[in-house]
Structure 1
Amino acid sequence: MRIHNHVQGEAVKVYSADGETQVLGDVLARGGEGAVHPLVSRPEVLVKLYHPDVLAKRGAELPRKVEAMTARRTAFDDMPVCWPLISVYNAAGTWTGYAMYRAEGVPMMKLAHSMLYQKYFPGLDRRRLADYVLAFVETIARLHERDVFVGDYNLNNIMCSPTTGKVTLIDCDSFQMRHEGKVYPCPVGSMDMTPAELMGRDFKTVRRTVESERFSVAIVLFKALMLGRHPYDAIGGENPVDNIRAGNFPYGRETTGRPKGPWHNIWSHMPYRLKQFFIQTFTEGARDPAQRATLEEWVEALRLYRAEIDKGWHEVAIRPERPKSKAYRGTQSIEVAGESST
């Protein structure tokens, strides 16, 4: 199916390859790559139109990648991802973007925020938070099974529904994927979400791996569980990017710069296994990709965390008022780096 873009008055009219006509609604979102519109007749379908300068810069590789993604669309029909459905074209027949289904929810960036979570997720507790992050990791694991890697991890591209608990990934056109033997890389990324071995390299030529994804996934999990705090954000130390390079994780053993206040309290209440995986991934794993916790390990640990919350073994408050004491939960306390955990 092909869609054409034509301005008629204030409306943007689009056409499919077989001549079907649709009108786009007002812009829902605008970013560095393009603008997103709903179809007036089907608001559950969105169209992303790339900015002209992006189309000029990316050349023929961008439409080729999206076309390859649309060819694989049926493999993702059962997944909570806004996968490209069809390509779109302007009135002259030039490729300008694609259509996708709309995602419900609020960006995880507002969930992982020390203030905004109260506005957008009223009544949020760590039961629901554990459900959100577990659903996220399970979706990433399913993508990996299909030889798809997110690459550019951004909490604004992870939509969390405050009502249903559903987690949906958007901006899928940047994902690294393989089709008919060709790898289409993820050409973008954020340095503070990227493992050290990929820093300083051209993302357009980088091949994301299971190991590189494990590092980025762990950062997302940490930020979600820690009110948005970056794992390598140390007090009185270097910036997160330099700390990633050095493997300086302030919550590890015998380290300095650990943030005080609510972040210290949250960390003290975190289950032992989750702490171990974070320490393993962000210290030894910062330099050695083989040391990073696997997605399967995260899923198992998060499922156990969720079950133990229901048993009353863990604090449910998003922002605990005080650090965890040895007396909390009575038994099965384990000392980790000078503090009590489970």
Structure 2
Amino acid sequence: MIKAGERLDSESGTPITVGDVLGAGGQGEVREGRTPDGRVVAIKWYLPPFQTDELRRNITYLVNEHAPSAKFLWPEDIVFKDGEFGYVMPLRPPDYVGLTRVLGRKVPMRFRQLVQAAGHTVSAFKALQAKGLFYCDISDGNLFVEPRTGDILICDNDNVGSSRTAPRVLGTPRFMAPEIVRNEKKPSALTDSFSMAVLLFLLLMNDHPLQGEAESRIHVFDAAAMRRIYGTQPVFIFDPHDASNRPIPGVHVNARIFWDLYPQAVRDIFTKVFTAGLADPARRPTFGEWEAAISATLDAIFACPHCKRENFYCATRRAATCWGCRKPMQVPMKLVIDGRRTVVLDRDTKLYAHHVNRRGDVVLTDPPLAEVAKHPEQDRYGLKNLSTLPWFVTPPGSQVATPVAPGRSVALVPGSQIEFNAVSAVIEQ
């Protein structure tokens, strides 16, 4: 193994100086490294059993492919010493924490940031598959989140495979697609889509989609039991036609609470992937379906005026009861876009290209074009134009449209109509 202070050669010709150990696992260890120009990086160095020509070829292939997006801590260079090798990747910033810490309630996150993290995760794996690659080993151990923003980073990308390379791993138990558990298929884009869905369910519901009453009845959770629950007889805990694996009160507490809180779009897409998509991989949701569901969920979030816990707007009721403090609350004003989409105008609301144009697809990585912003002097809020084009607003009872220049805001007045170039919207109470 390598030691602090040693100097490693690299395929690119840039020498890397080895620093302290950052972590260790079954394949090897990760150390800090430094380039001659002072850039701090991470070095993954493999234990002798993993020092194979096949692995080195795979890492070299990934280095040459380059990262699908900035969300991946991607191999950037091969380093070597005395016939052994490792690779260089970006160093994870300290404000990103492992998802397992969030799921263990050691790091709190609000609904908006959890949903944003889900959106970033979908966008990242969409970018990966657009390059003809698949991750093979999606799990809660490979995702890091920035709790304040919902941003994400994905690590352990040396397991990424493609049609040109044989998969090095089959996946992580509890996350593998049923067809892999049954030894019928190898990792692929379709199996990745299932593993991603399990990860998203854990992220949003803080429970596993296949672990309910059926799993709790098992006293010895051995390989045969795991094969049954996750492979041969998997049943979604909220399957609308099969109640044999429902979450148990007092055991699967998170799933029972959060499932009913989230909007129908979230419940529908999870139901699709964990019912039809269990038996038929081709019926698993597309990335576009995930992006649409996540965007609709972000549109529905608003904070309770009493306890500040976040809730989700439901169109079937004008008022609601906070799930946290149980007090009645009035839903904030809403923006109804082209009569087809409702966005709650809460203090953290942002609008994107898919809100204000007629483009059908949702791109969660687009920059915001509008945001709810507080008046600099008064205790009121407006919708601020972050785009490069003017809007036109017509106040209630008026026939005259006033331009709203980029950088300016329109007051949140019920009945006001806003023209966003391609679409029109009305502010409603």
- For Structure 1 versus Structure 2, the TM-score category normalised by the shorter chain is 0.7 to 0.9
Are the equivalent residues in 2 in contact too, given 1:194–1:215 (CA < 8 A)?
Answer: yes
Alignment correspondent of 2:194: 215
| Partner AA of 1:308 in structure 2 | A
TM-fit CA distance, 1:22: 3.4
Provide the rounded CA distance (Å) in 1 between the counterparts of 2:11 and 2:287. 41
Taking every aligned residue pair, what percent have the same amino acid on both sides? 22
Provide the rounded CA distance (Å) in 2 between the counterparts of 1:96 and 1:234. 44
| Partner AA of 2:176 in structure 1 | T
2:183 maps to 1:187: no
Structure 1 residues 226 and 30: CA distance shift in structure 2, 3 A: same
Structure 2 alignment gaps of length 5 or more: 219-224, 313-321, 332-429
2:234 maps to 1:247: yes
Alignment correspondent of 1:234: 212
Provide the rounded CA distance (Å) in 2 between the counterparts of 1:307 and 1:159. 24
2:81 maps to 1:85: no
Alignment correspondent of 2:275: 283
| Partner AA of 2:92 in structure 1 | A
Alignment correspondent of 2:347: none
More strand by share: 2
CA deviation digits over 1:142-197, x for unaligned, max 9?
1111111111012121111234432111110001135xxx2342424113111111
CA deviation digits over 1:250-294, x for unaligned, max 9?
221241431323431111112112112212211222111122222
| Partner AA of 1:95 in structure 2 | E
> Normalising by structure 1, what TM-score?
0.78
Q: Count residues in correspondence.
A: 302
Provide the rounded CA distance (Å) in 2 between the counterparts of 1:135 and 1:29. 25
Structure 1 alignment gaps of length 5 or more: 119-123, 330-342
Alignment correspondent of 1:338: none
2:81 maps to 1:100: no
2:44 maps to 1:48: yes
| Partner AA of 1:108 in structure 2 | L
- Aligned to 1:139, what secondary structure does the other structure show? helix
Bigger shift: residues 230-239 or 62-71 = 230-239
Bigger shift: residues 280-289 or 35-44 = 35-44
Bigger CA radius of gyration: 2
Alignment correspondent of 2:255: 263
TM-fit CA distance, 1:19: 6.6
Alignment correspondent of 1:13: 7
Are the equivalent residues in 2 in contact too, given 1:232–1:244 (CA < 8 A)?
Answer: yes
TM-fit CA distance, 1:295: 2.0
Residues 17-166 of structure 1 aligned to structure 2 (within 5 Å): 21-40=15-34, 42=38, 44-55=40-51, 59-73=52-66, 76=68, 78-90=69-81, 92=82, 94-104=83-93, 105-113=96-104, 115-118=105-108, 124-166=109-151
Provide the rounded CA distance (Å) in 2 between the counterparts of 1:201 and 1:61. 23
- Aligned to 2:190, what secondary structure does the other structure show? helix
> Normalising by structure 2, what TM-score?
0.63
Structure 1 residues 277 and 164: CA distance shift in structure 2, 3 A: closer
Are the equivalent residues in 1 in contact too, given 2:11–2:78 (CA < 8 A)?
Answer: no
Provide the rounded CA distance (Å) in 2 between the counterparts of 1:167 and 1:264. 26
Larger RCO of the pair (alpha carbons < 8 Å, separation 6+):
1
Are the equivalent residues in 2 in contact too, given 1:266–1:320 (CA < 8 A)?
Answer: no
- Aligned to 2:21, what secondary structure does the other structure show? coil
Task: Give the CA RMSD over aligned residues.
Answer: 3.2
Are the equivalent residues in 2 in contact too, given 1:125–1:316 (CA < 8 A)?
Answer: yes
More helix by share: 1
Structure 1 residues 275 and 37: CA distance shift in structure 2, 3 A: same
